[in-house]
Amino acid sequence: MSGEPAIAASALSKDYGSGRGLFELDLEVRPGEIFGFLGPNGAGKSTTMRLLLDLIRPTSGSARVLGLDTRRESIEIRRRIGFLPGDLALYPKLSGRVVLDHLAQLRGGVDRRVRDSLAERFGADLDRPVRQLSTGNRQKLGLIQAFMHEPELLILDEPIAGLDPLVQQSFHTLLREVSAQGRTVFLSSHTLSEVERVTDRLAILRQGRLVVVDSLENLRRVAVQRLEIEFAEHVDAGEFRGLPGVKEVDAVGRTVTIGFEGSADAVVKAAAAHEVRAIRPREEDLEDIFLSYYRKSAE
């Protein structure tokens, strides 16, 4: 695979008016990575994906997918990618098998063994009409059609929606295999914990604008950290408020939880003035990072 970005957006915009849409998106997704695209509903995630697939056209800016222009070379792009739309809809009267056969024919045929092994892996029912399937079982068909031709790039809009935990696990394993093969995954979610487990890097989008792009590790580093300190006796939580970097202090009984940015030095030294039974770092989860970026960009 070449070093060319799998996805490169340059000032990509789609203005729907009234502040809705996507604005000046600059984004690069590297080949072989699993890239998470985060944001709440209406943030512009699906709009970005539709622009990449030429389902809708940009108001301004441009994008390249696998080195190809999304407007002029869309057919070649679509040949080489797999796409799962958010809010997936399939022909309700037809069975999963017929739908997958049809979609395979639109690609000029796919290896049936790959399709069948994906169906087995996800436990998909290919014989019942789509309208009789639950949301999760329909989503499995969506995942199979996106992966069955072994594309170089997968663009997945809310792929985990409706999947039960076991299937989610199979899906995550599949993503890692795909990534290990050097293929790229660009997936969106507003359920942060789902993305946290699989992404190499992520972007956070808010109201159509990119807030941040970084690795999870780096995002954690700059985000608010928390220490949970259990004292031998009751300690006045007010002692910690006002210390350099401290953002929030919460006390329950003899345990004080302190959220701070930067160095822990001031917090640890203040705590050392008392008998400390235990210090537990609280694992920062993506939700907190996400919300902290939201707060920052809203300010």
Partner 1 sequence: MSLSVTRLTLRLRLTSTVSAAVGLVVVMLVVGALFPAVGDTIGKLDIPTSVANLLGGADYGTITGWFRSEIAVIYAPLVIGALAITGASTAIAGEEEERILALVLAHPIRRSRLVVAKAAAIAVIVLIIGFAVWVGLIAGVAVGGGGITVAHITALAVQLVFFGFAVGALALALGAGTGRRSLAAGGAAAIAIVGWLVNSFAPLVSGIAWLRYVSLFYYYAGHDPLTRGIGATGIVVLGIVALALTAAAVVSFERRDLRV
Q: Which residues of the chain form contacts with partner 1 (CB under 8 A)?
A: 46, 50, 53, 55-57, 75-76, 78-79, 81, 83, 85, 87-91, 93-94, 102-103, 105-108, 142, 145
Residue found under tokens 């985060």: 38
Enumerate the H helices of 223-276 as residue ranges: 265-271
Burial of 244 (0-12, 13-18, 19+ CB in 10 A): exposed
Cα distance from N-terminal residue to C-terminal residue, the chain: 42
- Minimum CB distance to partner 1 smaller for 140 or for 201: 140
Pairing relation of β-strands 201-206 and 34-38? Answer: parallel
Radius of gyration of the chain (CA): 23
For the bound state, the minimum distance from the C-beta of residue 16 to partner 1, rounded and expressed in Å, comes to: 10
258: tokens are 């302190």
Closest separation between CB of residue 180 and partner 1, Å? 25
Q: Least distance from C-beta 106 to partner 1, angstroms? A: 4
**CA-angle at 62, arms to 56 and 66, nearest 5°:** 90
CB of 114 or CB of 251, closer to partner 1: 114
Task: Give the list of residues 6+ apart from residue 128 with CB closer than 8 angstroms, or none.
Answer: 95, 96
In the bound state with partner 1, the residue whose beta carbon lies nearer, of 53 and 276, is 53
User: Minimal distance in Å, beta carbon 17 to partner 1?
Assistant: 13
Question: What is the spatial distance between Cα 257 and Cα 46, in angstroms, rounded to a whole number?
Answer: 38
Closer to partner 1 by Cβ: residue 89 or 272: 89
Min dist. Cβ of residue 109 to partner 1 (A): 10
Shortest Cβ 83–partner 1 spacing (Å): 4
> Looking at beta carbons only, is 208 or 259 nearer to partner 1?
208
Alpha helix (H) residue ranges in 181-285: 192-196, 216-222, 265-271
Nearer to partner 1, 56 or 243 (CB): 56
